[in-house]
Each structure stands twice: as C-alpha cells, then as structure tokens.
Chain A
Amino acid sequence: AQTVTQSQPEMSVQEAETVTLSCTYDTSESDYYLFWYKQPPSRQMILVIRQEAYKQQNATENRFSVNFQKAAKSFSLKISDSQLGDAAMYFCAYRSFRDDKIIFGKGTRLHILP
C-alpha cells in the first residue's frame, strides 16, 4: 500500500523568506501523480502544484516549486517570497494512475511571521 509521510507537523517562516516543506512517499508503482494541496482556515482544499512521476523536470507554479527525487521517493515543496496569505495547512498527496485514489500525508501547518 502507498503511504505519504510529512515529518514536519509545523513550520514557521519570516515573511518574504523561503521555506521548504518535506514529503516522502512509498510506492511500488512506477506511474503516479504527486500533489501539494493547501488548506487555509476556510478548509477549502486548493491545489498548489502537481507533478507527474514520468516527468523529470520539477513542476513550478509562480512562487511554488518542487524538488522531485523519484529514486529517493521525495517530493518537497519550496515557497519563495513567503506571503501572509500562504499561512495554511499543506498536504502532500499521492495519486495512483491505476485507480485515481488520493492518499494524503498528515500535513504541515505553515505559519508566516510578519
């Protein structure tokens, strides 16, 4: 069975600084998707970034980028120029090509310090 591990329950970063959230996963599959979702206080799940496992190039969305290391099964999220609106719970997630089920990590709560 696939698992997703986020080892940092909480993190803090100064506004305008850069922060990296860690995520590792375990799977025996070769094709899959990886995601980072943001859940602000409203609790609406927002897709931040998506990575297809077959792509070697790391995905980037404006201030958000990932470091995808397939062999190490690592998928970290880097947030540059942190803004107050980035404060939220961040979930790393895995989705199988086979059945579309999304498996979420336990989450990392990110605090932005003004």
Chain B
Amino acid sequence: GAVVSQHPSWVICKSGTSVKIECRSLDFQATTMFWYRQFPKQSLMLMATSNEGSKATYEQGVEKDKFLINHASLTLSTLTVTSAHPEDSSFYICSASSGHQETQYFGPGTRLLVL
C-alpha cells in the first residue's frame, strides 16, 4: 500500500513557541490531506482538510490562526501549531488521498508535548 510519513515523530517545545509538523506522501500524489488530533485514549478528531494549492477547510471549533495548514505540493502538507500552549499537547495524525473517494492512507503520527 501507499506510504505516508510524518516528521517529527515526537517533539517537545516550550510554551509560546511554534512547532511545524510535516506530512509527506512518499509514493503517490496526494491531492487531499487531512489532519487529525487524538487525545489519550480517545478517538481521532478531524481538524482540517487541505487540497493542494488551496486554503485548508477547518472543522468547527478549530482555530485556523492557531493551526496553520499549508499544502503547497502534491506530496507535502504542513501543520504549524502557533504559540503553543500545554493544552495543545496531543497526538497529531495526517492522512493523504490521491483523489475523491480514493483510499486515505495514514501517517504514523506526531506526539507533541508543550511544556
């Protein structure tokens, strides 16, 4: 199956700093990428959907100025957590799809800890 990578796999940062997480599709062109957040022992919650070359669509309750998403190429999307605070600590997962109704492939996730 197709492979999606995320970098870094885990990151620790100080409160107030910004953190960038990369999501890459390694062997296919991802026209759409999705960003999820997962709290401990909870389910995945969709944060936003990004299509290559256009602005991301955020789910209700997700602050777009807080979580900046850039999908500048068909293989890379980035999520930047700006001015991170301890409550932003979570597991962030991306998924990528080559088109409408195509299978979504998930990345391995990024664990963020904000001190």
Q: Is the interface of B mostly helix, strand, loop or mixed?
A: strand
The one of B32, B43, B101 that contacts A104, using a Cβ cutoff of 8 Å = B43
Interface size on B, residues (CB 8 A): 20
Residues in A neighbouring B32, C-beta threshold 8 A? 100
Interface string of B95-113 (1 = CB under 8 A from A): 1010011011010110000
Residues in A neighbouring B95, C-beta threshold 8 A? 45, 102
Query: Which B residue sits closest to A43, measured CB to CB?
Result: B109
**Interchain CA distance A36-B93 in the complex, whole Å:** 17
Query: Which A residue sits closest to B59, measured CB to CB?
Result: A101
**Interchain CA distance A52-B46 in the complex, whole Å:** 21
**Interchain CA distance A103-B92 in the complex, whole Å:** 16
A8-46 interface with B by 8 A CB criterion: 33, 42-46
Q: Could you tell me if B91 and A43 are in contact, using CB atoms closer than 8 angstroms?
A: yes
Interface size on A, residues (CB 8 A): 20
Determine how close the nearest CB of chain A comes to the CB of B27; give it in whole angstroms.
Answer: 16
- With A43-B91, A45-B93 already in contact, the answer to whether A104 and B44 are too (CB < 8 A) is yes
Residues in B neighbouring A107, C-beta threshold 8 A? 42-43
The one of B38, B49, B103, B108 that contacts A47, using a Cβ cutoff of 8 Å = B103
B16-61 interface with A by 8 A CB criterion: 32, 34, 38, 42-46, 49
B residues at A contact (CB < 8 Å): 32, 34, 38, 42-46, 49, 91, 93, 95, 97, 100-101, 103-104, 106, 108-109
